Amino acid sequence: MMISSVHATLSLFRQSNNSLRSLKFCLPFSSSAASLSANNLSRKKSRQQPVLSALEYGGVKITRQDVVKDDDPTNNVPDNIFSKLGMQLHRRDQHPLGIIKNAIYDYFDTNYSNKFNKFDDLSPIVSLKQNFDDVLVPEDHVSRSYNDTYYIDPQTVLRCHTSAHQAELLRDGQTHFLVTGDVYRRDSIDSTHYPVFHQMEGFRVFVPDEWEASGMDGTSFAAEDLKKCLGGLARHLFGDVEMRWVDTYFPFTNPSFELEIYFKEKWLEVLGCGVTEQEILKRNGKSNNVAWAFGLGLERLAMVLFDIPDIRLFWSDDERFTSQFSKGQLGIKFKPFSKYPPCYKDISFWINESFTENNLCEVVRGVAGDLAEEDGTTTSP
Ligand code: DAH
């Protein structure tokens, strides 16, 4: 299961209940499901490191007690997940995720004269209704299970996609918007999976005049506009790449598509999108309109763009990672470094007249190989 955190950004909702996905997940989750008893949970939690006890989202304070409930068997949020809330990597301009977010903002600002409103600090704590019902996810869909989603209590979850905000923003009168945020899915961890990652949701509502003038029906008009918009975005980020559209299924769109780009000899799925189900528009006061929506995984885009080989690196505060990226710089290629933390040792020794630095370096390289670099030698009298 790949790039699934990355990939799951797109795949969690596209399969029906009896799909591949439930097969793929049954092994890792059968063991974690067993640990869901209150006893196991609190034992697991007590081993965790202490975490920050309060944080803020859009001015709203969130405390550990709001998210982690040690004695509540309906809560499956561990401390290490709580510790990720409030990190807001996508709001750091020097971080690869912030750099990608800003590059996408630039594309929309330039091509749609600042028409898209941007939200990037909506709280990841949402109701079951926001996360699932509002976007028509069926009652028996696998994504609602305790195995797949972090439940704070039976009615409240950590959002598993930014689509959770579509309905509230529509009701708020928004017609063009981008929502960026951290999303949470119970998943295994490896170089391409992590239970917390970042998505950007895009949404555009059309009025009848717009499609009527084209002579097309609303749905075809929106689908064509969507493909034009996202094809342009892929070129803005990746240059002149080969790309293809794949038909798929999401509960909230019809028709639904995925965009794949050809990168490093493979087709990579970079986003899911489609024409919004009329029912969503109707329920939120937009009966006479048509809309498109998309959801893209920022980690996936960043791994491709910056050559970042491991999704866990995004959480690193090791300077050897963070110092490689700068605000607004899309062309950087990540240079791998040792997985071990840097280890500084001062070594002093007496030298005689015949000492040269080259001799010393040769002795060191004889033992450590070519990776050893000169980093300045000082001599004291
Ligand atoms: N929410 C989907 C996911 O996380 C991604 C997505 C697909 C969002 C299609 C959309 C959409 O807005 O139209 O898997």
Number of domains in the chain: 1
Atom nearest to 292 CA in ligand 1: 13
Task: Please state, as a whole number, how many other Cβ atoms lie within 10 Å of the Cβ of residue 334.
Answer: 18
Residues 311-326: tens digit of each pLDDT: 999 999 999 999 999 9
Q: Are 296 and 100 in contact (CB under 8 A)?
A: no
Q: How far does the centroid of ligand 1 lie from the alpha carbon of residue 155, in Å?
A: 22
Give domain status of residue 150, yes or no.
yes
Structural domain boundaries, residue 184:
87-339
Average pLDDT score over residue span 195-205:
97
What is the DSSP secondary structure assignment for residue 52, as one 8-state letter?
Answer: -
**What mean pLDDT do residues 248-261 have?**
96
Share of the chain above pLDDT 90, in %: 64
| Residue-level pLDDT at 32 | 26
Confidence at residue 157, expressed as pLDDT on a 0 to 100 scale: 98
Closest residue CA from atom 3 of ligand 1: 10
pLDDT tens digits, residue range 60-113?
889 999 999 999 999 999 999 999 998 999 999 999 999 999 999 999 999 999
Exposed e or buried b for every residue in 124-154, given b needs 16+ CB within 10 A? bbbebebbbebbbbeeebbbbebbbbbbbee
* Mean pLDDT, residues 277-295: 98
In a domain, 284, yes or no: yes
As a whole number, the mean pLDDT across the chain is 84
Q: Has residue 377 been placed in a domain?
A: no
pLDDT at res. 1: 26
Average pLDDT over residues 249-275: 91
Which residues partner with 262 through β-bridges?
A: 267
Cα–Cα distance list, 247 to 18, 108, 174, 343 (Å): 19, 24, 28, 51
Beta strands 266-276 and 253-263, pairing class: antiparallel
Domain CATH number, residue 238: 3.30.930.10
Which residue puts its alpha carbon closest to atom 7 of ligand 1?
272
Q: What is the pLDDT of residue 376?
A: 52
Lowest mean pLDDT among 68-82, 231-245, 254-268, 303-317: 254-268
Within a domain: residue 30?
Answer: no
- Tokens representing residue 107 in the block: 């594309």
The ligand 1 atom nearest the CA atom of 163 = 1
Per-residue pLDDT tens digits for 122-148: 999 999 999 999 999 999 999 999 999
Q: Which residues line ligand 1 (CB under 6 A)?
A: 9-10, 12-13, 161, 163, 201, 250, 252-253, 272-274, 293-295
Residue 2 is assigned to a structural domain of this protein:
no
Backbone angles phi, psi at 87, to 5 degrees: -70, -40
> Does 76 map to a domain?
no
- Residue 171 domain-assigned? yes
Q: How confident is the model at residue 370 (pLDDT cuts 50, 70, 90)?
A: low
Take atom 6 of ligand 1 and give the residue whose Cα is closest.
Answer: 295
16-30 per-position pLDDT tens digit: 433 323 222 222 212
Q: Which atom of ligand 1 has the smallest separation from the CA of 161?
A: 4
Pick the residue whose CA is nearest to atom 12 on ligand 1: 294
Query: Distance, CA 29 to ligand 1 centroid (Å)?
Result: 23
96 domain residue, yes or no: yes
